[in-house]
């Protein structure tokens, strides 16, 4: 907590002042987080001072709040391209990212618990820069980092506003990917990576994490022949959560010719548990396209799941037990973009007219329910 407050003061985030009579003063609280290594061991403990943003008043404490967030498809596309070219992906973490941007609004917060200044108990802090928890904090941070990238002549992608490409002037390029306060950088030049990293460290307080090994719950293994993405730890944690870590595995996620409908059984499953299970399976589809269909199928019964639906979900977990180390392997290829589409007319798996599925070169996949009856 002392380290967090030191960073806030060093950054000029706030100024202690008398409590204004006609201004809304917002509360703050401490949030604690344990950051893990790819193997599940503890990397470090973190404490963040967070504004109680839910008490902010629209039009008074904040205006626009939108900030773009990158898609998993973009992450996989970058990984596929770097595997194709034989580049390495490096990881930078911005310290206290949301504390970097000057606020346009006049905002006051209370003094944090355990750090109230003796003799100034009645005073508050006026924020000059954003704090975590403010509704406009993500937008303020994105505006700051986006402006910086544009100032150094990086080009922002038109379709993915968190992806930037910088021409180094010597025929080499740097690709930068932003996910909130994490930066992934890659290039065809080692010197260019080092120069970019040092230039960023001059502007932002950052930690260089080296070659990317763990990102958004995905384990990343980079070798000369390619890049492997998996979520083995997450899969094993999911099995433990539902007490199936010692279950007998099955070879397929769904039973052959099993048909599901909303009328499957009168006995209802626990809605919270069912939704947690399906949500976790959907998260695993980031590196497991083989789970996309069954996860999407089960998500159709979120409103009122039966024990039958929950049983089908548990079968998927049994399949996961035997395939926890599965993932996506990206290797060097001819770079050809390929797409595959398949459909099931009057499917036997679901009471529905037809199903449609598509996949493009292992960066994007989709399953959908057709609303019209297919003619063929």
pLDDT digits (tens, 9 = 90+) for 138-156: 888 899 899 999 999 999 9
* Residue 56 pLDDT greater than 90, yes or no: no
pLDDT recorded at residue 13: 87
Give residue-wise pLDDT tens across range 244-258.
Answer: 999 999 999 998 777
What strands lie across the sheet with 364-370, from one edge to the other?
A: 339-345, 354-360, 364-370
Cα 375 to Cα 346: distance, rounded to the nearest angstrom: 10
pLDDT recorded at residue 9: 86
Nearest to 284 by CA among 248, 251, 321: 321
Nearest to 38 by CA among 236, 173, 224: 236
Min mean pLDDT across 39-43, 101-105, 106-110 is at 39-43
Q: What is the mean pLDDT of residues 135-139?
A: 88
Please report how the helices 232-241 and 271-284 are oriented relative to each other, as an axis angle in degrees rounded to 10.
170
Write the CB contacts of 114 (distance below 8 Å, at least 6 apart in sequence): 1
* Residue 343 pLDDT greater than 80, yes or no: no
What is the token pair recorded at 247?
């279950």
What is the token pair recorded at 98?
């949301």
Return phi, psi of residue 341, to 5°.
-130, 140
Domain range list for the chain = 1-216, 229-371
Cα 200 to Cα 277: distance, rounded to the nearest angstrom: 40
pLDDT recorded at residue 350: 54
Cα 182 to Cα 221: distance, rounded to the nearest angstrom: 18
Write the CB contacts of 311 (distance below 8 Å, at least 6 apart in sequence): none
Average pLDDT for the chain: 85
123 close to 40: Cβ distance less than 8 angstroms: no
pLDDT recorded at residue 70: 84
292 close to 284: Cβ distance less than 8 angstroms: no
What is the token pair recorded at 16?
């202690």
């Amino acid at each position: 907590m002392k380290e967090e407050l030191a960073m806030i003061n060093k950054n000029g985030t706030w100024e202690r002042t008398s409590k204004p009579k006609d201004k809304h003063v917002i509360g703050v609280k401490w949030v604690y987080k344990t950051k893990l290594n790819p193997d599940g061991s503890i990397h470090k403990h973190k404490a963040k001072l967070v504004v109680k943003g839910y008490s902010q008043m629209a039009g008074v404490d904040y205006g626009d709040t939108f900030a773009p967030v990158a898609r998993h498809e973009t992450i996989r596309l970058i990984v596929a391209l770097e595997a194709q070219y034989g580049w390495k992906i490096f990881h930078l973490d911005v310290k206290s990212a949301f504390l970097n941007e000057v606020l346009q609004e006049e905002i006051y917060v209370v003094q944090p618990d355990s750090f109230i200044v003796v003799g100034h108990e009645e005073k508050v802090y006026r924020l000059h820069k954003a704090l975590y928890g403010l509704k406009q904090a993500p937008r303020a941070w994105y505006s700051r980092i986006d402006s910086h990238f544009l100032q150094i002549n990086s080009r922002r992608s038109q379709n993915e506003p968190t992806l930037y490409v910088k021409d180094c002037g010597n025929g080499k390029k740097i690709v930068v990917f932003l996910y909130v306060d994490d930066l992934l950088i890659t290039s065809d030049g080692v010197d260019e990576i080092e120069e970019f990293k040092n230039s960023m460290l001059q502007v932002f307080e950052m930690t260089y994490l080296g070659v990317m090994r763990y990102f958004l719950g995905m384990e990343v293994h980079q070798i000369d022949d390619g890049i492997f993405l998996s979520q083995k730890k997450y899969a094993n944690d999911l099995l433990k959560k539902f007490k199936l870590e010692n279950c007998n595995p099955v070879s397929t996620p769904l039973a052959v010719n099993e048909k599901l409908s909303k009328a499957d059984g009168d006995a209802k499953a626990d809605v919270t548990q069912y939704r947690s299970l399906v949500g976790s399976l959907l998260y695993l589809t980031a590196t497991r396209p083989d789970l996309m269909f069954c996860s999407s199928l089960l998500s159709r019964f979120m409103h009122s799941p039966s024990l039958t639906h929950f049983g089908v979900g548990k079968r998927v977990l049994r399949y996961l037990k035997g395939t926890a180390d599965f993932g996506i392997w990206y290797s060097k290829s001819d770079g050809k973009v390929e797409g595959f589409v398949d459909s099931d007319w009057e499917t036997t798996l679901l009471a529905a007219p037809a199903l449609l599925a598509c996949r493009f070169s292992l960066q994007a996949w989709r399953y959908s329910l057709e609303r019209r009856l297919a003619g063929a």
